[in-house]
């Protein structure tokens, strides 16, 4: 028979009481350390309590006032952004349609034609045509420094809406001829140069820009 079998409850309880490995009595739990609030914290609590009591009768009104101010602030920010965008667009439109005298000075245009003619007289039609194109782009950049970006091709420049239509139409054949020469490997002849020269005159000299 196993140890403790057949013993009554009183005997088992007495045996448990004699077992020193068991803790059967417990003392009172230790008290938590006392925390002394600083005076400034007590004063702040009293002030906040008085403030709450003061505004408590008007809490609902204050809530709606704060909510109205928040809505008004949001509407102000939205309207400011919308009106600001419209104002910027309007300013851009005014600047875009402002009249600009794009014509290069006549003496400069004629001096360029003389330089191109000298190259053409030597049979250097590709260089002469590229000179016309380069100076045409310089004329545009002089009038509108930020219009011609570094990534724009000659065709892109010819398609710029800010150029007058007649000048844009005259600039495009020059750009196409230079592209054929540089990227197509097709040397330009005297007839092509003559057409480009005539196109530059249309681009640079007063009749087209009137």
Q: Can you tell me the distance from the alpha carbon of 201 to that of 39, in angstroms, rounded to the nearest whole number?
A: 91
Q: Can you tell me the distance from the alpha carbon of 58 to that of 83, in angstroms, rounded to the nearest whole number?
A: 37
Q: Can you tell me the distance from the alpha carbon of 188 to that of 123, in angstroms, rounded to the nearest whole number?
A: 10
Q: Can you tell me the distance from the alpha carbon of 116 to that of 120, in angstroms, rounded to the nearest whole number?
A: 6
**Sign, Cα dihedral of 100, 102, 106, 111:** positive
What per-residue confidence (pLDDT) applies to 38?
79
What the block records as the tokens of 8 is 């009554």
What per-residue confidence (pLDDT) applies to 51?
79
pTM for this structure? 0.46
> What are the distances in angstroms from CA 137 to CA 127, 161, 167, 200?
15, 15, 12, 11
Cβ atoms within 10 Å, residue 77:
10
Among 144, 191, 151, residue whose Cα is nearest residue 167: 144
Reduced to 3 states (helix: H, G, I; strand: E, B; else coil), residue 8 is: coil
**104: phi then psi, degrees, rounded to nearest 5:** -70, 160
Query: Tens place of pLDDT for every residue, the chain, 210 residues?
Result: 445 555 678 887 787 777 777 766 777 777 777 767 778 887 888 888 887 888 778 778 888 888 889 998 888 888 777 766 555 555 555 545 455 555 677 888 888 889 999 999 999 999 988 898 888 777 777 766 666 666 566 667 766 776 777 677 777 888 888 888 887 777 889 998 998 888 888 777 765 444
What the block records as the tokens of 181 is 């020469």
What per-residue confidence (pLDDT) applies to 123?
92
Q: Can you tell me the distance from the alpha carbon of 9 to that of 7, in angstroms, rounded to the nearest whole number?
A: 7
What per-residue confidence (pLDDT) applies to 208?
47
Among 116, 114, 134, 113, residue whose Cα is nearest residue 125: 116
What per-residue confidence (pLDDT) applies to 58?
77
Q: Can you tell me the distance from the alpha carbon of 119 to that of 128, in angstroms, rounded to the nearest whole number?
A: 5
What per-residue confidence (pLDDT) applies to 84?
65
């Amino acid at each position: 028979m196993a140890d403790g079998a057949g013993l009554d409850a009183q005997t088992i309880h007495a045996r448990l009481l004699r077992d020193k490995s068991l803790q059967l009595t417990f003392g009172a739990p230790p008290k938590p350390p006392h925390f002394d609030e600083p005076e400034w914290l007590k004063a702040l609590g009293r002030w906040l309590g008085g403030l709450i009591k003061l505004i408590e009768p008007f809490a609902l009104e204050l809530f709606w006032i704060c909510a109205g101010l928040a809505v008004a602030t949001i509407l102000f920010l939205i309207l400011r952004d919308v009106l600001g965008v419209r104002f910027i667009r309007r300013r851009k439109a005014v600047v875009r349609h402002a009249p600009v005298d794009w014509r290069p000075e006549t003496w400069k245009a004629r001096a360029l034609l003389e330089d191109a003619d000298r190259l053409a007289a030597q049979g250097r039609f590709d260089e002469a045509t590229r000179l016309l194109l380069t100076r045409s782009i310089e004329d545009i950049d002089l009038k509108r420094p930020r219009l011609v970006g570094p990534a724009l091709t000659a065709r892109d420049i010819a398609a710029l809406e800010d150029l007058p239509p007649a000048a844009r139409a005259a600039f495009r054949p020059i750009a196409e001829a230079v592209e054929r020469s540089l990227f197509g490997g097709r040397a330009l002849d005297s007839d092509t140069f003559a057409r480009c020269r005539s196109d530059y005159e249309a681009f640079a000299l007063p009749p087209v820009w009137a």
